[in-house]
Amino acid sequence: MSRPLTAPLSAQPSSATLTTLLAEERTFPAPEAVAQVANLDAAAAEAWRQRGVEDPEGFWAEQAAHLDWETPWNTVLQWSPPTFAEGADVTDPLAELSVPSARWFDGGTLNAAVNCLDRHVAAGHGDRVATHFEGERGDTRTITYADLLAEVSRAANALSALGVEPGDRVVLYLPVIPETLITVLACARIGAVHSLVFGGFSAEALRFRVADTTAKVVVATDGQFRRGRAVPVKAAVDEAVAGLDHVEHVLVVRRTGEEAFAGEPIPWTEGRDVWWHDVVDTADTAHEAVAFPAEHPLFIIYTSGSTGRPKGLLHTTGGYLTHARYAHWAHFDAHPETDVHWCTADLAWVTAHSFAIYGPLLNGVTQVMYEGVPDFPAPGRHFEIIEKYRATTYYTAPTLVRACMTWGDDVPARYDLSSLKLLGSVGEPINPEVWMWFRENVGGGTAPVVDTWWQSETGATVVAPLPGATTLKPGSATRPLPGLDAAVVDDTGAEVQPSQGGWLVVRRPWPGMARTVWGNPERYRDAYWRQFAVQGYYAAGDGARYDADRYLWLLGRLDDVVNVSGHRLSTTEVESALVAHPDVAEAGVVGVGDELTGQAVAAFVIPSRRSVLDDDDAHPALEAALRQQVATVIGPVAKPKHVVVVRDLPKTRSGKIMRRILGDLLEGRAPGDTTSLSDERAVDAVRDGIAARRARTTTSTAAR
Ligand code: ATP
Ligand code: MG
């Protein structure tokens, strides 16, 4: 197979920018069929972009008007940028700086759940399917908008009866089941603040979030299905909330129906614990919703924690909903009459908040919800679901696409995927070869791949193509959405030249932006606003570059940059070069200390074939081939000094490689906080790979 991603570009290394060397020449114009029916065609997209630049507040006011407001707002935006105290030395990292504050649509009031449900039912769409639920064991449930409204009303009544008041926090520790969606919307309906915690997290990770939010109620299940087995959950919840007096109730959904796990009955604290079927299923299906101010808190979302202790970002109502609705409508080209949208993210991830909950429901589309993992009972489960529900959009993470590639092209080929109109990617940079495979093997060679760049902090998408307007380039998230002012700048805040890497920033406030870090406004200021406080820019922490067409290419996190003899290399580019090799399924790259060059590139690779993984004798040849691959694709400076063959990589639950753990392990340090890991066994997998390589290099040195 030819691998045309290799025309090394020359670029000047400098301390302020990144050396970027990967060039991608393939382009894919918007298909005619998509452009013709798209919400935004090329001309409209250009006009919207212009409007976003010339009158950003007018632009967002128009978007906000797509929601139902009980009271209209009086000001679109009140923005207090971060400001240094008079006479402060702005280069001093401890200089006194005010905490920025954004208020969108002040004076306006609305109810989030009414916007997601009641207004569609009132418009005569109560019979439209809101969610096709597919359980891990193949059980299904079809929930219309009218059904969902009734269920949410019940849950809202039940939560109020449990004492939940507007502003109180409710933590959800649930799998991907209808009750999760229902609880989220019930919280929103009564003005309670929801915070979802991934159901696979440990009791310790849950406890941190319950304590940090001082939650009044925790909603959980008796147990969960995992790869066909029922596993306990409630005992972990008890451990997590022990001694936290602010937790007044634990509301428990009976999901597995098991009476006991390994002989232990489900632990129960009378008075505190209540069954969902006792209090929700018996509640009234009518609920009168009241409107809340635009800046009323809607939810707290913890970042994935790939760089350290997770931050609890607070999102508020009016601005967030405006941004989520707009982004879903624009880059997923929402058509409520025909769409069957599937965002595969766990509901506890921000991706699902905006693109499996609020965005799609605000636009009134039909969705798919699936409880299980993609490869149970067999690889292909996702494709089976796409075929079954005739899904039109499939939005997933690069890590999953890379996994699909190792299962083989024949797996997607077995299913009828012709209903798919659009594919989407989020969570990490999608390597060009992975993008190509996805489009070809899942998208039938025609479906646009919408690569969306955004963060928990940004609320919804900042950079993404518009499928009916944008010419795509594999691996590029293309351009900022109309209305969003993202740019790539150097250390001084000046925009970089094409092909130079720099900091990705957002130069103007936007409605979906997080308002603060829960309970820690100084951390909010210092993490995102201090670096470019003089300019008033939001610093995302990610690196990016422009190409000659001003397309954006994400380069990974700037604190992951590898500095080899003054060349600052992007982990993303080296990883993309590695996964372009047919023997590599996944790659994680990190910088490790080196006497000669300051830092050296260390690459951890999962072979695409089991036979290569298991055959230790094949590893030296693979290492040599990969060094050569990187040297040719990117340049000799990026050649990995260490190549470690591993069977797994440490990832967050949202599929992000936790590179700092790789560095810690290779340099013999204990890995720091690992509570965000989706599978702690990956740490051992890396340790084993490192030990095997050491043993081999020691033996070969001894033999010489
Ligand atoms: P923490 O901030 O605690 O380390 P996190 O950044 O992993 O956690 P999220 O907010 O879930 O938590 O992830 C946002 C990050 O994911 C972005 O900053 C970026 O690094 C990466 N990302 C998301 N989408 C894309 C994309 N399309 N292309 C490249 N990178 C992406
Ligand atoms: Mg982050």
**pLDDT number for residue 16:** 44
Q: Are 545 and 499 in contact (CB under 8 A)?
A: yes
Q: What is the mean pLDDT of the chain?
A: 93
Whole-angstrom CA distances from 252 to 24, 172, 178, 242, 273 are 51, 10, 14, 16, 7
Per-residue pLDDT at 580 exceeds 70: yes
Question: Does a structural domain hold residue 476?
Answer: no
Which range (150-154, 159-163, 507-511, 557-561) has the least confidence? 557-561
**pLDDT number for residue 25:** 86
Listed ranges 171-180, 197-206, 626-635, 689-698; the one with the highest mean pLDDT: 171-180
Question: Does a structural domain hold residue 629?
Answer: yes
Minimum-distance ligand 1 atom for the alpha carbon of 309: 3
Question: Does a structural domain hold residue 569?
Answer: yes
Nearest CA to ligand 1 atom 28: 429
Per-residue pLDDT at 308 exceeds 90: no
**pLDDT number for residue 570:** 87
Vertex 196: Cα angle to 313 and 675 (nearest 5)? 80
**pLDDT number for residue 565:** 87
- The pTM score is 0.94
Cis peptide before 582 (omega within 30 of 0): no
**pLDDT number for residue 285:** 98
Q: What is the pLDDT of residues 540-556, one digit of tens each?
A: 999 999 999 999 999 98
Ligand nearest to the CA of 430: 1
Per-residue pLDDT at 79 exceeds 80: yes
Q: Are 588 and 649 in contact (CB under 8 A)?
A: yes
Per-residue pLDDT at 9 exceeds 60: no
Per-residue pLDDT at 291 exceeds 90: yes
Distance between CA 65 and CA 9 in Å, rounded?
46
Ligand nearest to the CA of 456: 1
In the three-class reduction of DSSP (H, G, I as helix; E, B as strand; rest coil), residue 650 is classed as coil
Q: Is 500 in the pocket of ligand 1 (CB under 6 A)?
A: no
Per DSSP, which regions of 446-537 are E strands? 449-451, 486-489, 501-506, 516-517
Per-residue pLDDT at 421 exceeds 50: yes
Pairing outcome for strands 297-302 and 501-506: unpaired
Overall domain count for the chain: 1
Q: From ligand 2's centre to the CA of 669, what distance in Å?
A: 23
Copy the structure tokens of residue 344.
Answer: 């595969």
Q: From ligand 1's centre to the CA of 31, what distance in Å?
A: 29
Q: Is 453 in the pocket of ligand 1 (CB under 6 A)?
A: yes
Per-residue pLDDT at 688 exceeds 60: yes
Q: Is 82 in the pocket of ligand 1 (CB under 6 A)?
A: no
Determine the longest span between alpha carbons in the chain, in angstroms.
Answer: 81
Q: From ligand 2's centre to the CA of 182, what distance in Å?
A: 28
Distance between CA 544 and CA 572 in Å, rounded?
10
H or E stretch covering 108: none
Instruction: Give the phi and the psi of residue 297 in degrees, each rounded to 5.
Output: -60, 135
**Quick one: average pLDDT of 500-518?**
97
Per-residue pLDDT at 55 exceeds 70: yes
Q: From ligand 1's centre to the CA of 333, what distance in Å?
A: 23
Question: Does a structural domain hold residue 472?
Answer: no
Q: Are 479 and 552 in contact (CB under 8 A)?
A: yes
Nearest CA to ligand 1 atom 15: 455
Whole-angstrom CA distances from 79 to 103, 109, 190, 504, 505 are 6, 19, 28, 21, 17
**pLDDT number for residue 20:** 60
Q: From ligand 1's centre to the CA of 556, what distance in Å?
A: 8
Nearest CA to ligand 1 atom 3: 305
Whole-angstrom CA distances from 467 to 30, 422, 449, 464, 479 are 6, 8, 8, 9, 12
- Who wins on pLDDT, 264 or 558? 264
The conformation of residue 535, written as its DSSP 8-state character, comes to T
Question: Does a structural domain hold residue 188?
Answer: no
**Quick one: average pLDDT of 183-201?**
96
Minimum-distance ligand 1 atom for the alpha carbon of 430: 28
Question: Does a structural domain hold residue 219?
Answer: no
Per-residue pLDDT at 4 exceeds 70: no
Nearest CA to ligand 1 atom 18: 455
Distance between CA 556 and CA 603 in Å, rounded?
15
Per-residue pLDDT at 338 exceeds 80: yes
Distance between CA 305 and CA 654 in Å, rounded?
10
**pLDDT number for residue 11:** 34
**Which domain, by its residues, includes 622?**
561-703
Q: Is 515 in the pocket of ligand 1 (CB under 6 A)?
A: no
**pLDDT number for residue 566:** 83
Percent of the chain with pLDDT over 70: 96
**pLDDT number for residue 702:** 60
Question: Does a structural domain hold residue 398?
Answer: no
- Who wins on pLDDT, 5 or 448? 448
**Quick one: average pLDDT of 403-421?**
96
Position 494 confidence tier, pLDDT thresholds 50, 70, 90:
very high
Distance between CA 592 and CA 456 in Å, rounded?
28
Per-residue pLDDT at 248 exceeds 70: yes
Q: What is the pLDDT of residues 650-675, one digit of tens each?
A: 998 878 899 999 999 999 999 877 87
Which range (5-9, 386-390, 479-483) has the least confidence? 5-9
Ligand nearest to the CA of 486: 1
Per-residue pLDDT at 12 exceeds 90: no
Q: Are 242 and 203 in contact (CB under 8 A)?
A: no
Question: Does a structural domain hold residue 694?
Answer: yes
Per-residue pLDDT at 15 exceeds 60: no
Percent of the chain with pLDDT over 90: 87
**Quick one: average pLDDT of 274-299?**
98
Q: From ligand 2's centre to the CA of 121, what distance in Å?
A: 37
Minimum-distance ligand 1 atom for the alpha carbon of 464: 27
Distance between CA 103 and CA 292 in Å, rounded?
14
Per-residue pLDDT at 137 exceeds 90: yes
**pLDDT number for residue 704:** 53
Q: Is 303 in the pocket of ligand 1 (CB under 6 A)?
A: yes
Minimum-distance ligand 1 atom for the alpha carbon of 654: 11
**pLDDT number for residue 701:** 61
Contacts of 701 (CB under 8 A, 6+ apart): none
Q: From ligand 1's centre to the CA of 654, what distance in Å?
A: 9
**pLDDT number for residue 1:** 32
Nearest to 191 by CA among 284, 109, 249: 109
H or E stretch covering 585: strand 584-594
Position 499 confidence tier, pLDDT thresholds 50, 70, 90:
confident
Ligand nearest to the CA of 676: 1
The region that residue 474 occupies, defined by phi over 0 for left and psi between -120 and 50 for alpha, beta otherwise, is beta
Pairing outcome for strands 393-396 and 422-425: parallel
Q: Is 455 in the pocket of ligand 1 (CB under 6 A)?
A: yes
Q: From ligand 2's centre to the CA of 455, what distance in Å?
A: 6
**pLDDT number for residue 345:** 96
Pocket mutation for ligand 1, best pick of 303, 307, 503, 518 (most atoms within 8 Å of C-beta) = 303
CATH number of the domain to which 581 belongs:
3.30.300.30
C-beta atoms surrounding 80 within 10 Å: 12
The region that residue 214 occupies, defined by phi over 0 for left and psi between -120 and 50 for alpha, beta otherwise, is left
**pLDDT number for residue 626:** 97
The angle, 0 to 180 degrees and rounded to 10, between the axes of the packed helices 178-190 and 145-161 is: 60
**Quick one: average pLDDT of 83-93?**
94
DSSP letter string, 416-444: --TT--EEEE-SSPPPHHHHHHHHHHTST
**pLDDT number for residue 703:** 56
Q: From ligand 2's centre to the CA of 317, what distance in Å?
A: 22
Q: Is 429 in the pocket of ligand 1 (CB under 6 A)?
A: yes
Q: What is the separation of C-alpha 187 from the centre of its chain, rounded to a whole number of angstroms?
A: 22
C-beta atoms surrounding 610 within 10 Å: 10
Q: Are 517 and 311 in contact (CB under 8 A)?
A: yes
Q: Is 476 in the pocket of ligand 1 (CB under 6 A)?
A: no
Minimum-distance ligand 1 atom for the alpha carbon of 351: 11
**pLDDT number for residue 561:** 87
Q: How many helices (H) and strands (E) does the chain have?
A: 23, 32
Contacts of 486 (CB under 8 A, 6+ apart): 462, 463, 480, 504, 505, 506, 507, 552
Minimum-distance ligand 1 atom for the alpha carbon of 350: 11
